[in-house]
Chains A and B, each alone.
Chain A
Amino acid sequence: MQIEPRQHVSALRVALAPVSAVLATMAICSFLIIWAGAPVLESWYFMIKGSVGSRFALNETLTRSIPLIFTGLAAAVAFRSKFYNIGAEGQLYCGALAVTFFGTGIIVLPAILMVPFLMVVGALAGGLVLLVPVLLKTHMKVDEVVTTLLLNFVILLFVSYLIEGPWKDPMAMGWPQAASIIDEGVIPPMLAKGRLHYGFVFGIVAALAIWALMRFTVWGYQIKAAGLNVTAAAFSGININRTIFRTAMISGGLAGLAGVSEVAGLKGYLTLDLSPGFGYTGIAVAMLAQLHPLAFCRASMSVPTP
């Protein structure tokens, strides 16, 4: 038997691929459920009911999708240009660190300015930390998969040091957490009840913006060309290093925004369990959405989070 790629792939098949991935996952999970001795159909019923079966459940599902929209976008943008940023987890924490630093009283602005300000510094922090792997890649050809992945652990340990040490909130009764975000910096909730906040809207806007960037602009064109065929892109006059740099800043910035929305929108303060691996799950989200920015929002809601 030989396996050959299809010459033409119809749109239906493209759409069907993620659906069948979900169905296959469900089939495998069903075996695990049976193995555990639980009734299969009933389990699925409760799972679906628990995620979309009520207003509360839907609210929670959307809330949990917010960081995944950002980290998923971060992975998708980077992977599109073949810059394999595995470090969204660390960049998320960097965004969270920036929010904690600037949002706990050192600067006080009215809410209408404070929230955008925190988003900007959070995105910058995520982008800047990714600068290290970028420079190592463009100047010394160090593989970014290794550097971005390992930076995650460095950053996590640094966060741990800060919230156990200098940034530890004295009001937290000994818990390792940083001080709370001031009221002006909190991303406001969308509904009267539930935890859903405006970070969700920002996420959708970010997805739309990335989609437009990739589709209508010279930057998007260059990112796409460099990702699909770097030799031809360089030959046609695209500055590859600059393109990688831009891509990385956008990717790291988006991951940083995930940290901003979690701290300023949901938790209110920085802890070490802020992200149960959103940065890594974002990669799965990106793949499920086949790297298409608009498919994202949909995909990020389907991925279960702890």
Chain B
Amino acid sequence: MPVLQLENITKRFGSLVANDAISLALDKGEVLALLGENGAGKSTLMNILFGHYLADEGTIEVDGKPLPPGDTRAAIEAGIGMVHQHFTLADNLTVLENIILGTESLWSWRQNNKAAREKLAKMSEEFGLAIDPDAEVERLSVGERQRVEILKALYRDARVLILDEPTAVLTPQETDGLFTTLKSLTKKGLAVIFISHKLHEILAISDRVAVLRRGAIVGEVETAKANRNMLAEMMVGEKVTRPKPRAIKSGAPVLQLAGITIADAPSGTGLFDLNLTVNAHEIVGIAGVSGNGQSALADMLSGLLQPNRGTITLNDQKLDRTSAIDMVDRGVGRIPEDRHRQGIVGEMLNWENMISETVTSPEISKWRQLISKQNAISRTDKLIEEFDVRCEGASAETKLLSGGNIQKLILARVLSRNPSFILANQPVRGLDEGAIAYVQTRLLAARERGAGILLISEDLDELLALSDRIVVMYHGQLSEPFDNGTKTIAEIGLMMAGQQNPPPPALKDEAIHAN
């Protein structure tokens, strides 16, 4: 009998069918990979399973017993444990406190820490998940925090463990560690649902793959009988090939950073003595686990953060104090990391978002004050067509757009100004294959046109596919740049973990914050 059985789960949001009659079964000791693009319905399905959402139709059975819908507590009691993509730990509590949080009665006088400590120690040993129970979560690395999340689920006697995009924040080595842990857990009979859109990971860890597309299961295969191309095609529904850069000789420097230091960045990790040059016709990739100073670097180049020391030189002009509008006016194209939060104002209209950087230009406003809606709309219409933004026109609300189309709108806003330097911060994260190919094609076209591009990404595959040169960022420091192709993934992974790049003493104790 399967340990978990989903039968005909259907969930609608308005006219959108997020889950369309999904049936799945999970056996003891099995790793089932749930593969699908963003928006395919993976997270909705898991949220229904965990009781966050109510399904419109369908039933869930655990060990043959029906699970009451919409009841998270019942799901936990039935042995379902979930490790969310964004961790749900209290940073200021210890590991032990985090793990027992919510398992104790609110009415008891004192915590029974002793029993909990013993149980945790036994679990740690049994599953090979070593962790100091008294360490504050704040001080832990991302990989360790994930371990705490897994222990938290196991402490509640989980027999089904759901991992939502668990490798997104890990280095290649940490990912290997996670896989070892998962293998030992499944040996003890735990069943795992592994949600991902990274094909090589799914092939490495799962026993079976279920592929979701537009809310429906489009295929289920034994991993042993699957291969990369076949899964990719099932996931996307068609063959999509990502673009490849053409070899061009790089030109004169467009951006030079010398001795850049930012002591305390609001995003956590600052920057320490950064030196970097980006040339025309060149993509420089910044590799690194998120939270190692990428945000501070991106904020600085976006004009939102001032360096304490060091100089920024843009097209041979040294910048003094910068501001966001200053950077825009100097021809910096900025593709923000969080397109919903930084890139657009969702409640505003497409034309209002399209002109957000050019609202005081003579083309859009008279005397820099009176907005010509007509000009703004005709410009937006033109760009919507040129950049293939699928939307209901210039006067529709931007929040109605899909992630891929929001990114196309931002690309249109940025690239239509022909920037000489482009900061592309996670430009394809969370996009579907078609949109990824589109964004990358556009970036490569900008490179051919002569722009210098700084590409920040957590996805090493993306960096290896696009970059001319790569630098690794760790604890706010940059490694020596190296030409793409001169180092192996394993070598870069070690650099991402700081093995060849020891942290400066001043920054050593600083906690690395991952989102």
Residues of A within 8 A of B (CB): 2, 4, 7-8, 216-219, 221-222, 224-225, 228-229, 231-239
Contact = CB atoms under 8 A, between A and B. Distances in A.
Closest 8 CB pairs of A and B: A237-B325, A236-B356, A7-B14, A237-B324, A229-B345, A235-B342, A228-B345, A228-B347
Interface string B295-313: 0000000111000000000
A218 B371 contact: yes
B371 A221 contact: yes
A208 to B, nearest CB: 16
B54 A232 contact: no
Interface in B331-388: 334, 336, 341-348, 352, 356-357, 359-360, 365, 368-371, 373
B341 A232 contact: yes
A216 B374 CA distance: 11
Interface string B122-145: 000000000000000000000000
B13 interface: yes
Contacts of A238: 324-325
Nearest to B413: A236
B328 interface: yes
A220 to B, nearest CB: 8
B338 to A, nearest CB: 8
A160 B54 CA distance: 58
Given A218-B371, A235-B334, A236-B324, A225 B356 contact: yes
Nearest to B53: A2
Given A7-B14, A221-B352, A225-B345, A235 B370 contact: no
Contact of A235 (B13, B343, B346): B343
A225 B325 contact: no
A8 B324 CA distance: 34
A157 to B, nearest CB: 39
Contacts of B341: 229, 231-232
Contact of A217 (B15, B357, B369): B369
A239 B334 contact: no
A217 B328 CA distance: 21
30 contacts: A2-B70, A4-B13, A7-B14, A7-B15, A217-B369, A218-B359, A218-B360, A221-B371, A222-B359, A225-B352, A228-B347, A228-B348, A229-B347, A231-B341, A231-B342, A232-B342, A232-B344, A232-B345, A232-B356, A235-B334, A235-B336, A235-B342, A235-B343, A236-B324, A236-B356, A236-B357, A237-B303, A237-B325, A237-B356, A239-B325
B348 A224 contact: yes
A8 B346 contact: no
B501 interface: no
Contacts of B54: 2
Interface in B1-42: 13-15
A68 B103 CA distance: 53
A221 B348 CA distance: 10
B323 interface: yes
Nearest to B303: A237
Contacts of B359: 218, 221-222
Given A231-B342, A236-B328, 11 more contacts: A4-B13, A217-B371, A218-B365, A221-B371, A225-B345, A228-B347, A231-B341, A232-B344, A235-B302, A235-B304, A235-B343
A224 B359 CA distance: 13
A234 B302 CA distance: 10
B232 to A, nearest CB: 32
Nearest to A233: B345
Given A2-B54, A2-B70, A234 B370 contact: no
B134 to A, nearest CB: 34
A98 B306 CA distance: 42
B298 to A, nearest CB: 10
Contacts of A239: 323, 325
Interface size class of B (residues with CB under 8 A): 35 or more
Given A224-B348, A232-B343, A237 B323 contact: yes
Secondary structure at the A interface, as helix, strand, loop or mixed, is helix
B367 to A, nearest CB: 9
Contacts of B327: 237
Nearest to A225: B345
A48 B24 CA distance: 64
Contacts of B323: 237, 239
Contacts of B15: 7
A1 B350 CA distance: 35
Interface string B209-248: 0000000000000000000000000000000000000000
A228 B371 CA distance: 19
A79 to B, nearest CB: 14
A221 B303 CA distance: 21
Contact of B346 (A217, A224, A229, A233): A229
Nearest to B368: A218
A237 B328 contact: yes
A8 B13 CA distance: 11
B357 A237 contact: yes
Nearest to A7: B14
Contacts of A236: 324, 328, 356-357
A142 B368 CA distance: 32
A112 to B, nearest CB: 29
Contacts of A234: 304, 324
Nearest to B324: A237
A216 B348 contact: no
B371 A216 contact: yes
Contacts of B343: 232, 235
A234 B356 CA distance: 10
Contact of A216 (B324, B360, B370): B370
A234 B266 CA distance: 15
A237 B326 CA distance: 8
Given A225-B356, A237-B323, A218 B346 contact: no
Interface in B491-505: none
Given A8-B14, A234-B304, A239-B325, A217 B370 contact: yes
A257 to B, nearest CB: 23
Contacts of B370: 216-218
Interface string B48-69: 0000011000000000000000
Contacts of B302: 235
Scoring A2, A219, A225, A236 by chain B CB atoms within 10 A of each residue's CB, the highest score goes to: A236
A235 B324 contact: yes
Interface string B461-485: 0000000000000000000000000
A146 to B, nearest CB: 23
A218 B370 CA distance: 6
A228 B342 CA distance: 12
B158 to A, nearest CB: 25
A236 B336 CA distance: 10
Scoring B14, B325, B342, B373 by chain A CB atoms within 10 A of each residue's CB, the highest score goes to: B342
A216 B366 CA distance: 11
Contacts of B347: 228-229
Contacts of A222: 359
A235 B344 CA distance: 9
Scoring A218, A229, A234, A235 by chain B CB atoms within 10 A of each residue's CB, the highest score goes to: A235
A225 B368 CA distance: 17
Scoring A216, A221, A224, A225 by chain B CB atoms within 10 A of each residue's CB, the highest score goes to: A221
Given A2-B54, A239-B323, A219 B345 contact: no
Nearest to A237: B325
